[in-house]
Structure 1
């Protein structure tokens, strides 16, 4: 979910394309900012059918619950376009106008137009309660030396683990899989419980959800030094150019932020302040 593909327009083409865009903008009414593609009859959501705890075809994911909140406020029936969260997801769903919003998309990815972020989370260390590393909150902690950590291959914490000499004994798990068939996170948690690894390093919403279910200790990694960062702001994603739709969703996010926070915390998602420095303080 965190990888992106970016194609840049050559400098020689930018000026004429900009001029054409300006002329087109003057010729169209303001309502065209929605590109006339957003459905007026349904709240159409693009989602993975087997991506627990985010989304699921049985509607048990936290993104499903957030979509329920948005649809109810809009007074529209909810409609899903199901497609695996893999290469081609955005193109085959949002861009092809099969749906109008992706409920969870990392801020700053240019494949979509991002709304305001509605939560920030971080990678976490999942460990057994009462273990010697239960209170470890950064990967440079000497207590991790010589231990076997589970890590999703190619994920941002792997760089920090390499920097701190932890990769040699690490157990890698697949990054890109079809969640309908296998679940690296669930396997990692099972391996931790079985003693095959000493701790698991996972993206916060995933580690928080499965760690909570298993009664394990989940600690956000908020003290890492150097790149890459281990916290991310999560937005909703809409088609480029759909500014009116984006503003409408921003308004709904502001209106329902407390309810959204409650949904997320109910799933064990660690909520972090916007700068990634500390756990978020409840607005209640």
Structure 2
């Protein structure tokens, strides 16, 4: 008789555990299929790791929903309810609710340590002397290269970096890892990239590289500021106010642990802007 009671109790506990697992809420996070070092379908990016950490802190099961084209995923995935959360969006993105920033970083100059280039800002002589400068079109780097008269000098080299493709209405991608490798190999003297996108590859380079954060005090010829420091937040589907507040509480409480994850990646972290702090 005792044996039957033990068997019944074990079965009951097992059913209870299975029920608890089934009832555990999910955190549906939109991530890129192949946008390293942020994320990929194998979960190898730093945003994949952060999403897993947040799900654990919320007591939820992580469910990842992958997208392939960054131009439409908010419309086609978030707005349609296929996922609730997007990692790594600009703080204040009007398409979403955004959490308090979980990090602030900046664009960087990357060069080889052995070259000992003096790269402090856009008036650095090394930028005028360089034969090849790697950058991604459409970023603040392009704006300032135009301002200092070096953009046209780099036109042919830019075509080499991406390769010619006739892709009407398709997403043309520059691989950050490739641009860092251009510097490490000596093909380019300088790369100008978003720090979080480049940090992993700078850290892993067999050739020692220097990564210098560009000051956030630059202006175009017409006097308009060109921003080089930005705050990054988590995007939440509009209407999900409870989830937004839960994530805000986790970020505020666990900021030190989040910083450790980002620092392990090599990401240069900056103090949060006063305007953002006053709104949090």
TM-score, normalised to structure 2's length?
0.78
Deviations 1:216-264 (A, max 9, x none): 1111111542222011100000112322221111001111111110111
SS at match of 1:60: coil
SS at match of 1:145: helix
Is 1:140 the counterpart of 2:123? The answer is yes
2:209 paired residue among 197, 203, 216: 216
Deviations 1:8-48 (A, max 9, x none): xxxxxxxxxxxxxxxxxxxxxxxxxxxxxxx9721110000
Give the match for residue 169 of structure 1: 153
Is 1:197 the counterpart of 2:188? The answer is yes
Q: Which runs of 4+ in 1 moved over 4 A?
A: 176-179
Deviations 1:162-212 (A, max 9, x none): 1112213224355x9869xx7521221222222221110111101222111
2:228 paired residue among 227, 230, 235: 230
Partners of 2:53 and 2:177 lie apart in 1 by 28
Counterparts of 1:28-43 in structure 2 under 5 Å? 41-43=25-27
Partners of 2:216 and 2:233 lie apart in 1 by 24
Instruction: Give the Å deviation of 1:84.
Output: 1.9
Give the match for residue 256 of structure 2: 258
Give the match for residue 35 of structure 1: none
1:84 paired residue among 68, 73, 77: 68
In the alignment, structure 1 segments of 5+ residues that lack a partner are 1-38, 277-284
Give the match for residue 38 of structure 2: 54
Instruction: Give the Å deviation of 1:137.
Output: 2.2
Note if contact 2:24-2:61 (Cα within 8 Å) is conserved in structure 1: no
Is 1:110 the counterpart of 2:108? The answer is no
Give the match for residue 124 of structure 1: 108
Note if contact 1:47-1:80 (Cα within 8 Å) is conserved in structure 2: yes
Count of residues paired in the alignment: 234
Is 1:271 the counterpart of 2:255? The answer is no
TM-score, normalised to structure 1's length?
0.77
Note if contact 1:146-1:166 (Cα within 8 Å) is conserved in structure 2: no
Partners of 1:159 and 1:183 lie apart in 2 by 17
Work out which of the two has the higher radius of gyration on C-alpha atoms and give 1 or 2: 2
RMSD of the TM alignment (CA)? 2.2
SS at match of 1:218: strand
Is 1:160 the counterpart of 2:153? The answer is no
Give the match for residue 65 of structure 1: 49
Note if contact 2:216-2:228 (Cα within 8 Å) is conserved in structure 1: no
Return closer, same or farther for 1:178/1:216 CA change in 2, 3 Å cut-off. Answer: farther
Per residue, is there more helix in 1 or in 2?
Answer: 2
Deviations 1:97-127 (A, max 9, x none): 1111001101122111111110001001110
